[in-house]
């Protein structure tokens, strides 16, 4: 696969020189030092590597960087703006919705994508959408609470 030389990440075109066969996750972490996205399983089964691609959540551990093209990548690193946390980040803090924190960035990115689609979600909808993200520490109940709480803030901000 041809080398990839440019990647639109967090609103900026980043210059890279990466074998297109490499995973997007590896390029983000190893070439662009964006280490908030994590390697958890390499199978797309745990969600720790979740980033947004044109607004949709993708498992970056599975995605060859050569297939990304012009699409816009958003990672956890761009979620807070001018020191202001995204409502879902704030809600994770409010509910202590983590323990070791290794799944947290992927959880938040999946949650952010979900909140863009569902403004007033039920627990069941959250659980269905988030089921591909694993928290081995088992903070699921808190994560659901955080997403529900953030939904109110996101909705409030939109109005």
Binding site for other proteins (CB under 8 A): 18-19, 21-23, 26, 29-31, 33-43, 45-46, 48, 75-77, 79-80, 85, 89-90, 92-93, 96, 98-105, 108, 126-128, 130-144
**Is residue 8 helix, strand or coil?**
strand
Minimum CB–partner distance for residue 54 and other proteins (Å): 20
CB nearer other proteins, residue 13 or residue 80:
80
- Give pairs for 1-10: CB < 8 Å, separation 24+: 1/64, 1/66, 2/66, 4/65, 4/66, 4/68, 7/32, 7/65, 7/68, 7/73, 8/70, 8/71, 8/72, 8/73, 9/34, 9/73, 9/74, 9/75, 10/34, 10/73, 10/74, 10/75, 10/77, 10/78
DSSP state of 81: B
Minimum CB–partner distance for residue 16 and other proteins (Å): 11
d(CA 87, CA 91): 6
CB nearer other proteins, residue 53 or residue 86:
86
Minimum CB–partner distance for residue 120 and other proteins (Å): 19
Minimum CB–partner distance for residue 78 and other proteins (Å): 10
Minimum CB–partner distance for residue 43 and other proteins (Å): 5
CB nearer other proteins, residue 81 or residue 159:
81
CB nearer other proteins, residue 14 or residue 90:
90
């Amino acid at each position: 696969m041809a080398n990839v030389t440019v990647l639109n990440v967090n609103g900026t075109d980043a210059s890279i020189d990466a074998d297109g066969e490499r995973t997007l996750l590896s390029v983000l972490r190893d070439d662009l030092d964006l280490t908030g996205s994590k390697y958890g399983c390499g199978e797309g089964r745990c969600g720790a590597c979740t980033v947004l691609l044109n607004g949709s959540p993708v498992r970056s551990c599975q995605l060859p960087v050569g297939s990304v093209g012009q699409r816009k990548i958003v990672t956890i690193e761009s979620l807070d703006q001018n020191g202001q946390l995204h409502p879902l980040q704030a809600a994770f803090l409010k509910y202590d919705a983590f323990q070791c924190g290794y799944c947290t960035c992927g959880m938040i990115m999946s949650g952010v994508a979900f909140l863009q689609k569902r403004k007033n979600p039920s627990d069941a909808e959250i659980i269905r959408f988030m089921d591909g993200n694993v928290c081995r520490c088992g903070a699921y109940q808190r994560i659901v609470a955080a997403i529900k709480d953030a939904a109110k803030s996101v909705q409030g901000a939109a109005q």
